[in-house]
A and B are shown apart, each in its own frame.
Chain A
Amino acid sequence: MTSLFSQEGLTGLIFLVLLGITGSGALVAVTAGRLIRSVAGLLLCLIGVAGIYYFLNSPFVALMQLLIYVGAVGVVIAFAVMLADPNPDKQPARGRNPLMGGLGFLTSGAVFAGLAFLGASTAWKRHMGPPTDSGMAAIGKSLLTTYSMVFELISIVLLVAIIGSLVLARAGREKI
């Protein structure tokens, strides 16, 4: 049993706190009755994930997580919620169909079991010492060399999304 105030104890405590933030955010996102609170829970969860990235010594990924997921995606989701129906009473009540709950549990259980099986069956290489260079330069190099195909494909997906939203936005207008 390590002491709480040793190095391992403190890092473990920080990790558990970050895990708790992520988990509680996810729980709020799933269980909250009001849509806007679900969004807030999701954002809390994403902040926790950013904290875990920071904990794993990749501050660049952590800050990008904050900038893109919490800042951009979260704000866009919240904005969409604000444009939707503000009255929470009109939302369909949950759990009307008892089959739906069972199916949900089954699906999530299957996904969890699959991921757990993958995690347990993979031979993890134990990495000793501080993590290798996962800084900006390394990420940029690998994005533009090893993973340039994936990078370009993602940009095509984003382009399609932009054009699609433009088409949708254009439809309701008579002139610009």
Chain B
Amino acid sequence: MNLHSEPIRLLAFLVGIIAFAALNAAYLVWLERKVAGHVQRRIGPKEVGPFGLLQPLVDGIKLMTKQVLIPDNIDPILFRLAPPLLLIPAVMSFVTIPFSETLVARDINLGLLMIFAFASINVLGILLGGWGSNNKYAVIAAARGVSQNVAYEIPMLITVITMVMITHTLNLNEIVRQQGGGIFNWYIFRWSANPLMLISFLIFFTCSLAETNRAPFDLGEAESELVAGYHTEYSGMGFGIFFMGEYANIVIGCSLATILFLGGWQCPFGLWPGVHWFLIKLYILIFTVILIRWTFPRTTIYGLLNLSWKVLIPFALFNLILTGAMIKIWPMIFP
């Protein structure tokens, strides 16, 4: 690759990433409404276009043409700052996601760490948005969202540390490359590294649900108690950007689960690895996330925090110790 094509490549990836994030936000809303409809024995959106496929377009136009209401008595700077603060880190995280062996914007060595560094910023968007709205429901929702994020970041990071101990690298593409050659080389089935790999995956997946504020952990958006949650005062595209950020975060979380545990762009039977496998696994996970939202009731805030502090963190710590022991002791027994 010569020097002249590098800026063009970066520009292409920039446009592609923004388009991917926006398209996902639009069509995941459509999928969400369709799944919700069928779960509740309705049809869901069907009027605009075949199967309602043009519905996201219409929704987008509606959101963009609506007046953005700025209430009095808010903090004008923080109120405007919050939606981009939620969206920008999520979009930036796409930079290191390897869609296939070559289709990755920046193949940096610290990719995994970078995603978590940016993921820890977006909770500030919720916090500042809720606080800046000067609305008691928004403040309660923001406090809930933050306590939830703090609680679930711990087991998630511990699980990721066990994965890093096994993979010896933070480069996402390298992690996927280690899982080549069939389904039993995926880390979720790599029982020689740690017999509880399946539990690691479950902890990671549960934490990513909670980190992205998805049901059954969407206490920050509990409509029945909090009007709408931390975005109560946002209208028009302010609300739209919050939504885009939320869906971008879901895509990031599911991508990470795919890359760390399900072999990323590797094929289950060792043939034709490529971007299609990544997308198939990614969308199966996203579909699971959506199905979970519409089939499980919302927990309480105490149930949520107890699950993290009393179940997930002890299990994650045990997993960490077990992995360390396996790494040190296994070669001694079977040299």
Q: Mark A119-135, 1 if CB is under 8 A from B, else 0.
A: 00000000000000001
Q: Mark B117-138, 1 if CB is under 8 A from A, else 0.
A: 1111101100110011000000
Q: With A37-B78, A75-B120 in contact, do A67 and B146 touch (Cβ < 8 Å)?
A: no
Could you say which residues of chain A place their CB within 8 Å of the CB of B116? Answer: 67
CB of A60 within 8 A of chain B? yes
A76 to chain B, nearest CB (A): 7
**Interface residue range, chain A:** 20 to 34
Q: With A82-B143, A86-B139 in contact, do A75 and B127 touch (Cβ < 8 Å)?
A: yes
Could you say which residues of chain B place their CB within 8 Å of the CB of A72? Answer: 120, 150, 153
CB of B77 within 8 A of chain A? yes
Complex contact A71–B146 (CB within 8 A): no
Number of residue pairs across A and B with beta carbons under 8 Å? 73
Other-chain residue from A37, A66, A83, A135 in contact with B120 (beta carbon distance below 8 A): A66
A65 to chain B, nearest CB (A): 8
Complex contact B114–A63 (CB within 8 A): yes
Complex contact A59–B124 (CB within 8 A): no
Q: With A75-B149, A79-B147, A82-B143 in contact, do A37 and B77 touch (Cβ < 8 Å)?
A: yes
Other-chain residue from B114, B117, B128, B142 in contact with A71 (beta carbon distance below 8 A): B117
CB of B81 within 8 A of chain A? yes
Contacting residues of chain B (84-125) with chain A, CB-CB under 8 angstroms:
108-110, 113-114, 116-121, 123-124
Could you say which residues of chain B place their CB within 8 Å of the CB of A19? Answer: none
CB of B170 within 8 A of chain A? yes
Complex contact B75–A36 (CB within 8 A): yes
Residues in chain B within 8 A of chain A (CB atoms):
75, 77-78, 81, 108-110, 113-114, 116-121, 123-124, 127-128, 131-132, 139, 142-143, 146-147, 149-150, 153, 170
Q: A-B pairs with the 6 shortest C-beta distances?
A: A71-B120, A66-B117, A63-B117, A67-B117, A63-B113, A78-B127
| Given A40-B81, A75-B127, A82-B146; 14 other pairs, CB 8 A cutoff | A36-B78, A40-B128, A63-B113, A66-B117, A66-B118, A70-B124, A71-B117, A71-B123, A75-B120, A78-B127, A79-B143, A79-B146, A82-B127, A82-B143
* A-B contact list, 28 entries, CB within 8 Å: A36-B78, A36-B128, A37-B75, A37-B77, A37-B78, A43-B124, A63-B114, A63-B117, A64-B113, A66-B121, A67-B113, A67-B116, A67-B120, A71-B117, A71-B119, A71-B120, A71-B153, A74-B124, A75-B127, A75-B149, A75-B150, A78-B124, A79-B143, A79-B146, A79-B150, A82-B127, A82-B139, A135-B109
